[in-house]
Structure 1
Amino acid sequence: MEKQKGRGRFIFFCVAPATILFLIFMVIPTINIFRMSFYKWGGYSPNKEFVGFNNFVTLFQDTKFLQSFQNTVLLIVIVTIVTFGLALIFAALLTRAKVKGTNFFRTIFYIPNILSMVVIAAIFSAIYDPDRGLLNGILGIFRGDAQAIAWLGDQKIVIYSIAGTLIWQAIGYYMVMYMASMASIPESLYESANLEGVSAVKQFFTITIPLIWTNIRTTLTFFIISSINLSFLLVTTMTDGKPDGATEVFLSYMYKQAYGNSSYGYGMAIGVIVFLFSFLLSAVVNAVTKREPIEF
């Protein structure tokens, strides 16, 4: 009995610090966000006015918020599809095609993931520079004296420039993860498929993808949610939502409202929508990608 009590106390003291920190820095702030979303408050004034759901009513009539919502969804869709598609293809090529220098390519692809988002923003701001940027310099070889493209100044293409930066930053990390998963697939499965005359492309979709699906499913949910945070960092450092809100995203608009326009309660209402959107999106992705695990 004493041994069981001692074991229980040991587990309690091991778990308690993490639980307390989680409550202090996650649960309580989240509850406070929901609470403050019902108030009209500047953030610094001692006066708070309870307005109920008025912040949310105003929110869905706010064209700038709706634009930030559209930009966020567009980035999630484009960046997720392209990043995961290329990461899977590159991982399969480096794993199955027996490319020389696999470790070298793995390191090169992974480097963007260890760079600060501020550094990445500075690199791509230079690349996208309309006058001296590398991208326009390369295109100029084929376009001649045509007018330089304002990659970060044209409302029609600027969001795609941000998407390209996010893809470049993320692709190597997921490629390395998928390479590790693919390396655990028994070679005998591919040998049997080769004897049956199955093409490499068909092997990729019938052997590789199903056997690493659990990993894909986990990383997909993680990436979609983390892309909301990363887009905020990138937009803040590269464009600050310009031109005319064309690159404004959920969190950048929330930050400006809460701390720039002294509309803290309104900003917290946006935070509530971001929280619910992230939670709902995670649930939908998990439900859509759920399937029975394949064992080998």
Structure 2
Amino acid sequence: MKTMTMKTKRTFFILVCLLPGLLLFSLFKVYPTFQIFQKSLYLWTGLSDEPKYIGFKNFADMLHDETFLLSMRNTGFLMLVVPIVTIMIALVNASILTQSKLKERGFYRTVFFFPSILSFVVIAILWSFIYHPTMGFVNTGLEMVGLEEWAKPWLGDQRTVLWALAITLIWQAAGYYMVMYMAGIDSISPELYEAADLDGATRIQQFFRITIPMLWEIIRVTIIFSINGVLSISFIIVSIMTGGGPDRHSEVVMTYLYAQAFTNSNFGYAMAIGVVVFMISMLLALVSNKLTERGSY
């Protein structure tokens, strides 16, 4: 009986300690999320006290909204290209820096990781100058090597703007994931690589048969991080670098959501877009988690 009383007191103490955090989480996370789902069913300017209930009309309007569909396509492109390329570059760099025994390993780790600690605003401004059509490093470099015909307004061309934004996002994130992979590789037993060397395995074979399998759980997590990161970071990058141009060809779903809410005062429609983004994010997280299970590898 005394043991049960002690367990009860311990449970009560834990609940009391957790209660403030749970209340704050419910107040600032759960309740606003519920409100978004609720307000997405209304025609609301964000200023009126009495929004008009319209059911699922906001969601139906998305199917005929060409700008929304274009922003979804652009976002899908970035969510496909950026995570794949970022993770590949991070894995290769991490493998080289951990296994090549470079004396400058610490220096390269710092250099590659540096973009990850910069403000997204700084990154957007920096790459806007790099892509500048007359003074930018890209076009100037092409002219210096005699490839003037390749020079173009990278952020002003519908065919290149998304690729230019993708490169910016990859440059920002690759170093962050590289450090995560380096920590994972350092935890792999050196005996595995020594045994592989004795068996005559090349560095490439060791990379695919030892490094990647041993890092697979970390890779699974970084895939989800990278996909969701594109949604949040692309809003800042696109807003500063292109503003959605040219002709909406760099518009992403988060910039369109912001424009609907704070430019067009169509908060109900913006919240409906937010609900769709939330559902897609959850779906992608579940799908990527399922596809990358150990049994699928």
Partner in structure 2 of residue 165 of structure 1: 168
Q: 1:198-237 counterparts in 2 under 5 A?
A: 198-237=201-240
Unaligned 5+ segments in structure 1 are none
Instruction: Find runs of 4+ consecutive structure 1 residues off by over 4 angstroms.
Output: none
CA deviation string 1:244-284 (max 9, x = no partner): 11111111101100111011101111001000000000010
CA contact (8 A) 2:125 2:241 kept: yes
Partner in structure 1 of residue 266 of structure 2: 263
Q: CA deviation at 1:199?
A: 1.1
CA deviation string 1:102-142 (max 9, x = no partner): 11111111111111100001100110110101111111123
Amino acid at match of 1:155: Q
TM-score under structure 2 normalisation?
A: 0.95
Task: Please say if 1:282 is aligned against 2:297.
Answer: no
CA contact (8 A) 2:71 2:253 kept: yes
Query: What percentage of residue pairs aligned between the two structures are identical?
Result: 46
Distance 2:158 2:23 in 1: 46
- 60, 65, 81: which one aligns with 2:63: 60
- 31, 34, 37: which one aligns with 1:31: 34
CA contact (8 A) 2:142 2:148 kept: no
Task: Please say if 1:119 is aligned against 2:122.
Answer: yes
TM-score under structure 1 normalisation?
A: 0.96
Amino acid at match of 2:122: V
Aligned to 1:143, the other structure's residue is in SS state coil
CA contact (8 A) 2:46 2:267 kept: yes
Task: Please say if 1:133 is aligned against 2:140.
Answer: no
CA contact (8 A) 2:261 2:270 kept: yes
CA deviation string 1:48-95 (max 9, x = no partner): 111111111111110100000000110011101110000000000001
Residue-pair matches, total: 294
Distance 1:10 1:265, change over 3 A: same
Partner in structure 2 of residue 178 of structure 1: 181
Distance 1:147 1:197 in 2: 45
Distance 1:144 1:87, change over 3 A: closer
Unaligned 5+ segments in structure 2 are none
Aligned to 2:250, the other structure's residue is in SS state coil
Amino acid at match of 1:231: S
Bigger shift: residues 20-29 or 181-190: 20-29
Task: Please say if 1:83 is aligned against 2:92.
Answer: no
